[in-house]
Copies of this chain bind each other. A is one copy, B any other.
């Protein structure tokens, strides 16, 4: 940690701060510049409250040198994490294609979609049972019944399933779910993250609309600090000034997260743009820049989808995307 003192700081004030820092078991290196004096702190600075130090009237600025995340930091765990769900592996060169409808609507719907996406190359089935909706008047999902239907589709097709949790009290319903999804709006629902840290089940953690990559990693850290190290990170678009797309897919998050962390990274091109015609090009972009998987909304009849119809592909469209995605991955493997 670097502490920059203000110009003309009285010597005795500076000394008092330095003594206090030393009392926190830190070594302090002092660089006296022409204008500012800079203190370089060595030791376990994770415990020091940056805000406390920067609130002192003799302090101009405080900068962290090392990242506050540890469990998910590639610096300490250089090897890629590989998540296993049934026969499917994610990360470390293994690629997953997650597909399915925004909302589970009926057994007929979810089973038909599951069979079709499996045939098209998907290896995990997604489907919303509990739906976070901006409006209290919008359809909120089939809830427990939705999970039952997903399990039915899993039994028939053999595909592992992923679905979103919104409330830790619902955890008993998720016992047979293969991957639990944390939605963007709950990325910093720390109470929920702590509960998920107690499980032994993969968690797909979506980046919040306005959260930095470091905050995403700190949320992963919440879960991992609790003992659950099976985290899949998911880039699904951030909020910017551009209104042409629903969100802006931050495609550079994929290689940047791979640099910072050993966790697998998946791209959701459906929610990132909210525009059906952009799903394919964004899926290809994700595959080309090294994503460990894609999560794509597919609906058998988008005309009657209950939510997010605008971004869902039909199964035959998904099949085409899947084929091109694999072609891109194949081209880059050589």
Contact = CB atoms under 8 A, between A and B. Distances in A.
A243 B212 contact: yes
Main secondary structure of the interface of A (DSSP, over half): mixed
A282 interface: yes
A52 B310 contact: yes
Contacts of A75: 7, 35
Interface string A44-55: 001101011011
Contact of A218 (B29, B35, B135, B213): B135
Contact of A243 (B69, B135, B243, B275): B243
Interface string A213-231: 1110010011001100000
Interface in A277-299: 277-278, 281-282, 284-290
A52 B305 contact: yes
A51 B308 contact: yes
Chain A interface: which size bin? 35 or more
Interface of A: 2, 4, 7, 29-36, 38, 40, 42-43, 46-47, 49, 51-52, 54-56, 61, 63, 65-66, 68-69, 75, 132-138, 166-169, 185-186, 188-191, 194, 208-210, 212-215, 218, 221-222, 225-226, 238-245, 248-252, 254-256, 259-260, 272-278, 281-282, 284-290, 302-312, 324, 327-328, 330-332, 334
10 contacts: A49-B309, A55-B302, A136-B190, A166-B191, A186-B189, A214-B244, A238-B240, A240-B240, A259-B277, A328-B331
